[in-house]
């Protein structure tokens, strides 16, 4: 999963979505363009072991205030956000990794051989039903983006968001107004779907998939009758090509990394924190600390891990709170709080009115089909 994968199916998409990236990679030398993870790794190892590479202290204080002052200084123009399930929990989307409350605990009814099977590509090809039943239960359209999602949108509107790297597949970043080019959906997305037959690879839209999911049929390709799967990355599948190409371009020029709602335990996503320059401040907004350097690796001189409060700490800030509270606090320090709250209010009202319209037209359709059944049996009993 860690090396640049060959995914022919994604190539057309790549060219369409990121013409800007193509230009950038032309700028870099041949070596850089093909430069791989091992080279970076060795470079980092040698430079940290030999004390090379400048580690400038950019923040005047390792706190949220320090970060806010840095953003306000105007020197911070390329912000990367790295986000995980924690930014969507306040939208009501369960974090399937947390035991008990998580998704895996609710999977018993599907009679899976083991819980992870539901996201395993080989199992899916034989038994797609459990996945689609779950997809129906968790259908992305039923949720609203959070304060945190809209904070990221504000960074974009202010022209200082380089990109948002998300591990989430709930598409809430897109609902909040980020576009394909603003996003790296590292674990894929429900936004598009493809026929799983390699000879076909027909693309299908979210609306098409939604209709199939809610009709309880496993979606079949209109052209070749193979299964159609949302473009989320299953176990046993590669990460999107764009993850690797954008990563090489974005992180070296990043001047503030904001990590939210992730415990940085899933690779290769977690390793991204080590790809920014040594001077780049890194802000973690999360319910617990994460990404700290392993002690042994630290002794060996590996950089990359987060260091919030050792005597050598100079750039990492941990703000322990929910992602929404952390974003509100940061917005407040930036003088953006009222604007952020207004944006959330306006967008949520828009989504609610859209939902109402959809429901109204759905129930109109249903009423036309069965005009005699207007009162549910339950409500009769109560009378």
Write out the residues near Zn ion by the rule CB under 5 A. Answer: 195, 197, 200, 202, 221, 223-224, 226
24 noted as active-site residue: no
| For Zn ion, the closer CB: 126 or 295 | 126
**Residue with Cβ nearer Zn ion (70 or 131):** 131
Task: Tell me, rounded to whole angstroms, the distance of Cα 225 from its chain centroid.
Answer: 31
Burial 162-187 (b: 16+ CB within 10 A, else e): bbbbbbbbbbbbbbbbbebebbbbbb
CB of 128 to Zn ion, least distance (A): 14
Minimum gap (Å) between residue 7 Cβ and Zn ion:
17
**Residue 148 assigned as binding residue:** no
| Cβ–Cβ under 8 Å, residues 211 and 202 | no
CB of 230 to Zn ion, least distance (A): 15
Contact assessment for residue 326 and residue 260, using Cβ atoms and an 8 Å cutoff: yes
Tokens representing 14 are: 């790549």
Minimum CB distance to Zn ion smaller for 195 or for 249 = 195
Is 224 labeled as ligand-binding? yes
Strands of the 282-286 sheet, one edge to the other: 183-185, 161-166, 79-83, 256-260, 282-286, 316-320
**What angle do helix axes 206-214 and 129-137 make, rounded to 10 degrees?**
100
Q: Give me the torsion for CA of 25, 29, 35, 39, rounded to 10°.
A: -140
Comparing CB distances to Zn ion, the nearer of 76 and 196 is 196
DSSP output for 121-159: HHHHHH--HHHHHHHHHT-GGG----HHHHHHHHHHHTT
Report, in Å, the least distance between residue 224 CB and Zn ion: 3
| Between 147 and 221, CB nearer to Zn ion | 221
CA dihedral (132, 133, 137, 138) positive or negative: negative
In the complex, the smallest distance separating the C-beta of residue 241 from Zn ion, rounded to whole angstroms, is: 21
81 is in an annotated binding site: no
DSSP three-state, residue 292:
strand
Q: Cβ closer to Zn ion: 127 or 201?
A: 201
What's the min distance (Å) between Cβ of 223 and Zn ion? 5
CA angle 41, 233, 99 (to 5 degrees): 90
Establish whether 200 is an annotated binding residue: yes
Pick the catalytic residue from 24, 127, 149, 187. Answer: 187
Cα dihedral value 374, 380, 382, 383, nearest 10: 110
Angle at Cα 149 formed by Cα 148 and Cα 150, nearest 5°? 90
Cβ-based nearer residue to Zn ion, 90 or 193? 193
Alpha carbons within 13 angstroms on the beta-carbon side of residue 227 total 17
Indicate the Cα dihedral angle 352, 354, 355, 360, nearest 10°: 130
Q: How far is the CB of 239 from Zn ion (least distance, A)?
A: 23
| Residue list for the binding site for Zn(2+) | 195, 200, 221, 224
Q: Which residues are catalytic?
A: 187
Q: Binding site: residue ranges?
A: 195, 200, 221, 224
């Amino acid at each position: 999963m860690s090396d640049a994968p060959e995914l022919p199916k994604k190539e057309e998409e790549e060219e369409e979505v990121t013409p800007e990236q193509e230009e950038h990679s032309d700028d870099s030398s041949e070596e850089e363009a093909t430069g791989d993870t091992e080279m970076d790794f060795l470079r980092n190892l040698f430079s940290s072991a030999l004390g090379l590479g400048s580690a400038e202290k950019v923040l005047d204080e390792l706190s949220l205030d320090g970060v806010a002052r840095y953003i306000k200084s105007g020197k911070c123009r390329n912000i990367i956000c790295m986000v995980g399930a924690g930014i969507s929990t306040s939208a009501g989307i369960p974090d399937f990794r947390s035991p008990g409350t998580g998704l895996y605990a609710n999977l018993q009814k599907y009679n899976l051989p083991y819980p992870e099977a539901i996201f395993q590509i080989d199992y899916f090809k034989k038994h797609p039903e459990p996945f689609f039943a779950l997809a129906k239960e968790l259908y992305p359209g039923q949720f609203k983006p959070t304060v945190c999602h809209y904070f990221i949108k504000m960074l974009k509107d202010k022209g200082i968001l380089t990109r948002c790297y998300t591990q989430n597949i709930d598409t809430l970043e897109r609902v909040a107004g980020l576009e394909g080019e603003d996003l790296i959906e590292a674990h894929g997305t429900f936004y598009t779907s493809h026929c799983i037959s390699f000879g076909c690879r027909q693309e299908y839209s979210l609306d098409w998939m939604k209709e199939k999911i809610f009709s309880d049929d496993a979606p079949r390709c209109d052209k070749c009758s193979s299964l159609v799967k949302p473009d989320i990355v299953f176990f046993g599948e590669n990460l999107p090509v764009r993850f690797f190409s954008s990563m090489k371009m974005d992180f070296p020029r990043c001047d503030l990394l904001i990590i939210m709602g992730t415990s940085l335990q899933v690779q290769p996503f977690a390793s991204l924190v080590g790809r920014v320059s040594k001077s780049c401040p890194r802000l973690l907004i999360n319910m617990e600390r994460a990404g700290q350097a392993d002690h042994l690796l630290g002794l060996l001189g590996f950089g990359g891990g987060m260091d919030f409060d050792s005597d050598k700490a100079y750039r990492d800030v941990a703000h322990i709170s929910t992602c929404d509270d952390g974003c509100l606090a940061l917005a407040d320090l930036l003088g953006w709080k009222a604007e952020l709250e207004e944006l959330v209010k306006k967008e949520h009202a828009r989504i609610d009115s859209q939902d109402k319209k959809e429901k109204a037209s759905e129930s109109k359709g249903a009423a036309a089909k069965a005009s005699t059944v207007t009162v549910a049996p339950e409500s009769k009993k109560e009378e």
